[in-house]
Amino acid sequence: MAELFLLILLVVLIVALLSGFPVAFAIGGASILVAALASCFGAFDMLMLGALPGRIFSIMTNETLLAVPLFVFMGAILERSRIAENLLTTMGQLFGRVPGGLGVAVIIVGALLAASTGVVGATVVAMGLISLPAMRRAGYDEPLASGLICAAGSTAQIIPPSTVLILLGIMLQDANTQAMLSQGGFNSTQIGVTDLFTAALVPGLLLVFFYLVVMGLRALFDSDACPPLTMNDEERRTLPKRVLCTMLPPLALIVLVLGSILSGIATATESAALGGVGACILAILGRQFSFKVLKDASRSSLSMSLMIYAILIGATILSLVFRALGGEDVIAELLASVPGGVTGAILFVLLVMFVLGFILDTFEIIFIVVPIFAPPLIMMGADPLWLGVASAIVLQTSYLTPPFGYAIFFLKGAVTDLKLTTVYRGVIPFVILQLLAVVAIWVWPDLVLWLPRLLAN
């Protein structure tokens, strides 16, 4: 009987999500509706929902979650203080004098903004408004230009600090605890947000390297698609000084934020607060700070935080109902029946995440899939750190995969005369590169595990 209601829960959840109803209410509402139906047949005890207030209180008082609005605030200040704009313009002129150089600048600046903001939307919009007009003027192939901007902006999901990594870290920490309790209180691998930041750094840089190699090959074999940028004498003369002045502030902020996390001096939340203060100081020094900038940045961080907290509460209701209906045992049996043992099970879950990325947002996938599949995978022997980084890279494809890739719509919203079909053609090679990055860490898992081990010693 419980299996039947699990199937009903899955169907109702899919219908609710595809209906366009707000995600948080769709997840929570579908779960409560099915729970009420199951209780009529004795398959669910509604008294179990009495545990919800305690779980919601734990979410609202989770100190690690405070890092999300703080990092969003830091990114919003950098975006509105024109630091990102100056960086893009100057780096474009530095590299743009050779074929493909402007594309290289977009990739590098995307990585720098990712390490400064941790928010995909802010990075893609900033680069779309500034880089795409410059690439059009230079004569760049439009699918290539739009694909580069979307792909470079989406690195904000894998390069720390990242809001996605924070949420994945929290979910995996809970999953690891559940696996530990199910195994009699023993689990040799612990995981936190700082650990996930450390583990994701090398794969994130590897992905940037893949982008640079492809851009270099495109410039070598099809230079007409990415011609050099022309500059006047004044721009050439002042370029070294402008590069120094525009590079130092964001690099200093990156070192401040990431350095404090990786060295263990500060937690993710403390370093996020430090980054927010640092971004305000940079805006003040650049004479771009105002009450309007502060208000807009605060509003952005508030709306992002409310969205994440609402979805997380809805996902908590789903998790409670799912477990009460025996869903954990069903998932464990499902994964155990997949050919290939733990390797086949991991591949199956990553494939599920990739397919869901075509229709769902990254946050929705994290809050729905990770609590359901991660505990059984960890109990089967999957390393939670490796699993977290692999999941983050696969989920990064959800920003680029048609028809609902969010990076695509961020760029389309910023540049209204850009055709969606043009962006779709441009992002496909970069989706393939992201999947190749998963293959790389699968073949060489030390790409993920080496740095955490080094810093732990």
Per-residue pLDDT of the chain (457 residues; tens, 9 = 90+): 667 888 888 888 888 877 777 777 888 888 888 888 888 877 777 777 777 888 788 777 777 778 888 888 887 787 777 776 777 777 777 776 778 888 888 888 888 877 766 667 767 877 777 778 878 877 888 888 888 888 888 888 888 878 888 888 888 888 887 777 766 655 555 677 888 888 999 999 999 999 999 988 988 888 888 887 776 666 667 777 777 777 787 788 878 888 888 777 888 788 888 888 888 888 888 788 888 888 888 887 888 778 878 888 888 888 888 888 887 778 888 888 888 888 899 999 999 999 888 877 788 788 888 888 888 888 888 888 999 999 999 988 888 887 777 788 778 777 777 888 888 888 899 999 999 999 999 999 999 988 888 877 6
Main-chain dihedrals φ then ψ at residue 187, nearest 5 degrees:
-155, 120
Dihedral-angle region of residue 161 (phi above 0 means left; psi in -120 to 50 means alpha; beta otherwise):
beta
DSSP letters of 174-210?
Answer: HHHHHHHHHTTS--S----HHHHHHHHHHHHHHHHHH
In a domain, 164, yes or no: yes
Domain that holds residue 137: 62-315+326-456
Which candidate, 326, 25, 271, places its Cα nearest to that of 160? 271
In a domain, 80, yes or no: yes
d(CA 149, CA 351): 25
Q: Give me 97's structure tokens.
A: 């004098």
C-alpha separations of 298 from 84, 125, 254 in Å: 18, 18, 21
Per the structure, the count of domains in the chain is 1
In a domain, 403, yes or no: yes
In a domain, 304, yes or no: yes
Which candidate, 166, 394, 167, 152, places its Cα nearest to that of 261? 166
Query: Taking the model in full, what pTM does it have?
Result: 0.84
Exposed/middle/buried for residue 291 (C-beta within 10 Å: 0-12, 13-18, 19+): exposed
Contact at 8 Å (CB) between 79 and 288? no
In a domain, 126, yes or no: yes
Neighbours of 409 (CB within 10 A): 17
In a domain, 37, yes or no: no
In a domain, 281, yes or no: yes
In a domain, 365, yes or no: yes
Main-chain dihedrals φ then ψ at residue 325, nearest 5 degrees:
-90, 10
